[in-house]
Structure 1
Amino acid sequence: MGSAGVPVVVGLDNGGTSDNATVLTVDGRFLVDGLLEIPSDVGAGPEAAVEALARAFDGVLAHTGVPRDLVRAVGLDTPGPASATGVISSRGSTNFSQPAWRGFDVRTALERRLGLPVVYANDGNAAALYAHHVHFGADAMARSSVAAIVGTGLGGGVVESGRVVGGAAGMAGEFGHVHIPLDGLVEPDQAAPVCACGFTGDAESVASLTAIRRNLLPYWLARHPEHPLAAEEPDRAAKLLRGYGERGDPLARQVFGQQARALGRLFTIAANFTDPHAYFVGGGVVEAAPEFRDWFLAAVAEHTVLRAEQRAVATFALVPDRDMAGARGVAIAALEVVRAAAVAAPLRPGGASA
C-alpha cells in the first residue's frame, strides 16, 4: 500500500476509548482509507496511553507497508482542554480523569517514546483543519473558516490561511465557552442553561450532548411527560434523542432546534471577529440521516446573522469523514510543519540544503 521511497507523516487521533491512525505522504496522499483503531488505554493512565499510541503508530506503518525511516513527523490530537504544546489541563478533563493526567505533557512523552518530532493539536482543531482542506482543496491556504464540533462537549477551531489559530495558551477556538445571547433562544419559563465548566449561557450549555442530558431534555420532558423518553434513564434518553429527531419527533426537533439556534448565534459572533469564508458543523448531531442533518445545517445557517456582503461569499457545510477527521487533520498539521522546516532549511556552501 505504501508509496516506495516517498516520505510520510503519521497522524494519531487519541480518544477516550480508541486511537485511530493514518499515514499522509509528503505529496498529499492518504494511504489509509478508513478507521484503523485500537484501544486507547487512557483509563489506565498516561504511561499505558502513550504505549497504546506507540502501538497505533507501529500498526499503521505495518498496515501501509511504510518503513519507519520514511516517517518525518507524527501528528497527535487529543481531547482538550490542553495547551498549544500538548500539556493536559491541570484541572484534568472528561477523558483524562485520573490525577496523573493533570498537567501531563503528552506530546513530549510520545516524542520521547517514538524518537520522532511530534506536532500537537486538540481534536476540535484537527477536525476543523481537515474540513477546511477538504472543502477548499487547492485554495485552502488562501481561505479561512470556523468549525463547531458538537459532541459530549462543544469543540471547534479557527483556520486562517489554511492553518489553525492556536492562540497564546492554545485555547483559541474553544467555542464551547463563548457566551451567547439567551433571549429568544430558551423558552420564557426555561432555566438559564449551565455548562459543566460552571458558566451560565455559554454555547456548550446548549449545543452538546451534556447539555441535552442536563439542561434541555429535562425541561422538554417535564412539559411532555407522556413522551416515551420520559421513561428512560437520563443518559440513555439523551443518546436516543437523535434517533427521534431523525424520525421527525416534535419534541426532539424542539431540542435540536435550540441547539441549531445556539450554533447560529455562536457563528454570528465568529462572523464579527474573523469573517470566515466557511462555517463547518461536525459531531454526532450531524452524523445522522440526510434529511435530519440537512435540516439541522439549514437551521444553523438561518440563525447565523451575516451582512449581505458576508452572505454572498460564505458557505455552510458539514465536517466530512467525522471518525477520520482527527487523525487526518493532525496529519495535515504535521505535514505543514515538515514543509515549513524544509523551506527554512539553511543552504550549504554551493547551494545544497543542510
Structure 2
Amino acid sequence: MDSATVVVGIDNGGTANNATVLTFDGRFLVDRLVETPSRVQDGPQAAVAAMAEAFDGVLAVTGVTRDRVAAVGLDTPGPASADGVISSKGSTNFSQPAWRGYDVRGALERRLGLPVVYHNDGNAAALYAHHVHFGTDAMRRSSVSAIVGTGLGGGLVENGRVVSGAAGMAGELGHVHIPLTTVLAPGQPVPTCACGFDGDVESVVSLTAIEHNLLPYWLTRFPGHSLAGEAPERAAKLVRGYGERGDELAREIFAQQARALGALFTIAANFTDPHAYFVGGGVVETDAEFRDWFLAAVREHTRLRVEQAALATFALVPDRDMAGARGVALAALEAVRALPAPPPLVGD
C-alpha cells in the first residue's frame, strides 16, 4: 500500500449515515459531518443502498477516486455479532423482521466489492477515543468507554484493538449489574432495564432510564417542578438542558448517573485495569461547566487503588458526532496494515 491509499468509515444511525475518509498515513480528509439519510426503516435493501450512497458521497466530497479505497469500516447500533450479523431478536434501530439475523457487513461488502470491517457503534467510538487520547502510545495502552444515549453502549480496547469477544458481545457495558447501595436514594425503587434486567447500568444511565426510572421518582421529591407538566418522553429529553442551568432536580438525576458510571468503572478497574476511562454520548454533549462537573463526579465515585489512580486518566470521547465513523475507519486501516498472524507457540 502507498500513501495514496485510503479507507472509508461509515457510521450507520437511525436517521443518517455519517462517512469519513482516512489516508494510509493516518490523516482524516474531512473535519465535519458528511451525512446522508440511512433509510433503515425502509428495510435492509434500501439501507444497504443508502450506505453505498454515503460511500460515494464522501468520496465526491473529498475528491478521492474509488480505485484508491482499500477497505471500508462500518458501524451500526448493536446488538450484532463480531461479523456484523444483526441479532436474531433485532434491535431498536433494526426492528423489522427482515433485519433479524441479517448480515449487514456482508451485504455492504458485496454491494461495494471491497473488504468491509465491522464494529458496533459503541466499540467504534471507544476505538476512536483511545487512539486520539494515546496517539503514538495507543498500541501499548488499554481503555474502557461508556457511551450514553438512548441506551448505554460501551467498548473495551486492549493494546489499541477492540476486544470483541467470542460472539461479538464484549463491551456491552449497559447490562453489567452494579451495586445500587451507593447509587439510589433512600426508598427509591430498583430501576428496570428494557432488556429485562433489574439494576444494570443502563437502567440508571441512559435517556430511557431518565424517562422510565429516574424522572418519575425525582418528580415526587420536587412537587410542582415544571417538568411535571410535560409528556414523559419530552420531559426526559429536556432534563439535560435543566442540568446545564444547574436545576436541582436535574443535577440529582445526573449525580445518580455519575455514581452508576463510577460503580461500573470500579468493576472495570478490577477486571481489566485500564489506563483510561472515557465517557461519551448525549450526557456530555453539553456546555463545559456541566461536562467538567459530570466527569469529576464519575471519577470521584470510581474506586481505584493508589497504584491505579497514579496511572489512570478520565476523559471525554472527542469529536462526538464523528467518533463512530472515524473509529471504524481506524479499524479498517488497521486491518489493511495488519501483518500475517504469527505461528502458534504450541503445535498439534
| TM-score for the superposition, normalised by structure 1 | 0.95
Contact 1:178-1:266 within 8 A present in 2 as well: yes
Residue correspondence of structure 1 range 145-294 to structure 2 within 5 A:
145-294=143-292
Matched AA of 1:326: G
* Separation of aligned partners in 2, 1:268 and 1:184: 12
TM-score normalised per structure 2: 0.97
Using the TM superposition, give the Cα deviation of residue 187 of structure 1 relative to its aligned residue in structure 2, in angstroms. 1.5
Give 1:344's aligned residue: 340
What SS does the corresponding residue of 1:344 show, helix, strand or coil? coil
2-side partners of 1:298 and 1:169: how far apart? 34
Report the count of equivalent residues. 340
- State which of 88, 104, 118 in structure 2 corresponds to 1:90: 88
Asked if the contact 2:138–2:160 (Cα under 8 Å) also holds between the matched residues in 1, the reply is yes
Q: What CA distance in whole angstroms lies between the structure 2 residues aligned with 1:145 and 1:187?
A: 30
SS in 1 for 2:107: helix
The letter of the residue matching 2:9 is G
Q: Give the whole-Å Cα distance in 1 for the aligned partners of 2:310 and 2:324.
A: 30
Counterpart residue identity of residue 199, structure 1: F
Q: Deviations over 1:227-265 (max 9, x none)?
A: 000000001000000000000000000000000000000
Confirm or deny: 8 A CA contact 2:3 2:24 kept in the other structure: no
- Partner residue in 2 for 1:17: 15
Contact kept? 2:182, 2:259, Cα under 8 Å: no
The residue that corresponds to 2:52 in the other structure is: 54
Cα deviation, residue 5, structure 1: 6.7
Deviations 1:10-62 (A, max 9, x none): 00000001000000001100001110001100000110000000000000111
Comparing 229-238 with 182-191, greater Cα deviation is found at: 182-191
Secondary structure of 1:317's counterpart equals strand
Equivalent AA in structure 2 for residue 299 of structure 1: A
1:205-229 deviation line (CA, Å, top 9, x unaligned): 0000000000000000122220000
Q: Equivalent residue of 2:208, what SS?
A: helix
Does the 8 A contact of 2:70 with 2:115 survive in 1?
yes
Q: Which amino acid aligns with 2:88?
A: S
- C-alpha deviations, 1:99-127, integer Å up to 9, x for none? 11111000000000000000000000000
Could you say if the C-alpha distance between residues 30 and 190 of structure 1 is closer, same or farther in structure 2, counting changes exceeding 3 Å? same
State the one-letter code of the partner of 1:67.
T
Read off the aligned partner of 1:286 and give its amino acid letter: V
Q: Which amino acid aligns with 2:17?
A: D
Counterpart contact for 2:3–2:23, Cα < 8 Å: no
In 2, the alpha carbon distance for the partners of 1:224 and 1:207 equals 21
> How many Å separate the matches in 1 of 2:184 and 2:143?
28
Q: How far apart are the structure 2 equivalents of 1:222 and 1:95?
A: 33
1:344 positional shift: 2.6
Q: Secondary structure at 1:313's aligned position in 2?
A: coil
Correspondence for 2:114: 116
Contact 1:127–1:325 at 8 Å: present in 2 too? yes
SS in 2 for 1:108: helix
Structure 2: gaps of 5 or more residues: 342-348
Alpha-carbon separation, structure 1, partners of 2:282 and 2:145: 14
Give, in whole Å, the separation in 2 of the partners of 1:222 and 1:17.
Answer: 35
Shift of 1:139: 0.5
Contact 2:84 2:119 in 1 (8 A): yes
User: Do the aligned partners of 1:92 and 1:98 also contact (CA within 8 Å) in 2?
Assistant: yes
Q: Distance in 2 between matches of 1:330 and 1:260?
A: 28
Identity %: 79
1:22/1:31 contact within 8 Å kept = yes
- For residues 246 and 222 of structure 2, the distance between their equivalents in structure 1, rounded to whole angstroms, comes to 16
Partner Cα distance (2:320, 2:25) in 1: 23
Q: Is the partner of 1:237 in helix, strand or coil?
A: helix
Aligned partner (choices 77, 83, 106) of residue 79 of structure 1? 77
Q: Distance in 1 between matches of 2:3 and 2:82?
A: 32
**Contact residue 5 and residue 70 of structure 1 kept, 8 A:** no
Does 2:6 match 1:8?
yes
Q: Is the 8 A contact 2:74 2:117 kept in 1?
A: yes
Q: Is the 8 A contact 2:3 2:25 kept in 1?
A: no
Out of 40, 43, 55, the residue aligned to residue 41 of structure 2 is: 43
Question: Aligned partner of 2:40: which letter?
Answer: V
**Residue in 2 aligned with 1:350?**
none
1:28 aligns to what SS in structure 2? coil
| Alpha-carbon distance, 1:189 to partner | 1.2
Superposed CA RMSD in Å reads 1.0
Q: SS of 2:81's equivalent?
A: coil
How do 1:329-340 and structure 2 match up within 5 A? Answer: 329-340=327-338
The whole-number CA distance in structure 2 between the counterparts of 1:38 and 1:227 is: 39
- 1:348 maps to none
